Structure 1
Amino acid sequence: MSVATQAVTKKPFWSSSRREALTFYMVTSPWVIGFVLFTVVPIAYSVYISFTDWNMLSSPEWVGLKNFRDMYHDPDVAHSLWITTKYSLVSVPLRLAIALFFAILLNEATKFVGVFRTIFYLPGVVASVAAAVLWQWILNPRFGPFNAFLALFGIQGPNWFTDPDWALWGLVLMSAWSVGGEMLIFLAGLKGIPRMMYEAAEIDGAGRWQRFLRITLPLLSPTIFFNLVMTVIGSFQTFDSAFVISTARAGAIGSPLKSTLFYMMYLYENAFKFLKMGYASAMAWILFVVIVVVTYLINRSAQKWVFYGD
């Protein structure tokens, strides 16, 4: 091949493929740089910090596994993890059941369905701090509307956020209010179930409850699985609403008597009140391990109850 032919067939430096690759890297670089700087680097640094004693005012001092050993002997760590677990065991099924109930109602509605969707979804977009303030009024033992409603049936309402026996359940009740996100996901899953299956079952004489058990739940199980995993992860990270309510009532995190001391609240207290950032980082990684284990167990159980079809 002659030199002239090679010059003609040689690929130009600024070819269309290279221009497309350069455009791709230019477009994605802001996200990649932001992800590395604000996610990857902090995560890696938190691993290092968890093995140090750092008060954020001086240089970190390497202590090895001391933070993790101290957590094992700290009764508040076990207590806060138990409070968080108990909250999750009750609030997650309650949230999913209410969200599925509303989704089924909206799926069957024909008139003003857009208005009802907005009304049911609205609590999900209300700021958590504003919702906490609102629910302090709703569950006020003296003039709150919820206890007034119970009084109509002769029931003496409890002191929701001031009684250690009821404070956690007040937060559970509050969590059941903002199920708009789960409801919309359930509604999307219900829209994907063919109507002909319900019609065929109705012709065969299946009642409403049988259609729900035999058609809705099996075909909706992937959506239930997704909502379950996301809601469980969110419940283990509960912080803002419980923090606002407990500090507003008694000025102490987890009040009354540490009955609402969630794991994330105790982590926050160690980090920003006691300035034990190394200890708090170790707590964060323990929580990460707990969430991973729980998610893994849910995923393993999904093999027995999640139906993806053919």
Structure 2
Amino acid sequence: MTHVLEVDGLSVAAGPAARRVPLVHDVSFRLRAGEALALVGESGSGKSMTALALLGLLPRGVAVTAGSVRLLEPGDRPPLDLVTAGTRTLADVRGRRVAMVFQDPMASLNPSITVGEQIAEVHRRHLGTGRAAAARQAVDLLGAVGIKEPGRRAGDYPHTFSGGMRQRAVIAMALACEPAVLIADEPTTALDVTIQAQILDLLVRMQDDLGMAMLLVTHDLGVVAGTCHRLAVMYAGRLVEEGGVGEVFDDPAHPYTAALLAAAPENAMRGHKPQAIPGTVPAPGEPPPGCAFSSRCAHTRPDPCDTAPVELVRTGARSVRCARSADLHRRGGLRRPAEATP
């Protein structure tokens, strides 16, 4: 499959140049057409900052300090680096080539404009569609994402929609121009489990229909199991493991990945108590001298875990940032009992 997005050495920091606090460190990954990649980790691991950095949507005072985000253009046109792209170029890319679905749909919708008008505006802005044709497209999109009576509901305001309906409307806006890449940042966080399943099924179906790449930011490994092909695990602003979902779930190579899997709430559904990870993620700007996970890791050793920064090592289709990974695998690995599988 062809790459549509290439992220290399992406680093993000907050504060003025003289006192920058690193938030994301040297993150690299690839997205292929038709592929879904999950970015997982605890709150504070850097997932959302990474996603926002891809489209230049970082909050005030936070900036990309290194790296590139290359969007591969169709045909023979050279890749577009979204890190160095100007404001007007980014405005053209957002919603047209790369779209984003945020956690809170109400923050993405204007309460004073009807839902149909907001979806139609995407078509008018990026595709130059006439007002009447854009309005028809908005109704079609609402129907495509499962809104009943889309012709009538297109004229309603966001506050009249339920939470699940608002998220469907936001997804319709994101997919209006059939983007090459969809970034979904915790798109089901505020929804009940039934609506969550419906929204995830919708995302997977639309991704398959459009052949687009999807980056799914989530802390829910159960969601990853049913929607993604690969996953990248983040901890303290760094990638610590990457690989195919099935491979990583069956045979985690990093102790943090194994700990996340053991802590999954799905264990309780099978009658097994989830195993909480002790401690907390290190505060930004205060990394330990060695492995950032060493103070919480059951497998840590003073040497080599605490002596020097650990590099991300790629072996075939897997990557891991653990000084003891090879040793742990020789001793039987970090495989979990079958009942702990999400």
Same fold by TM-score, threshold 0.5 exceeded?
no
Higher relative contact order (CA 8 A, sep 6+): 1
TM-score calculated relative to the size of structure 1: 0.23
Structure richer in helix, relative to its length: 1
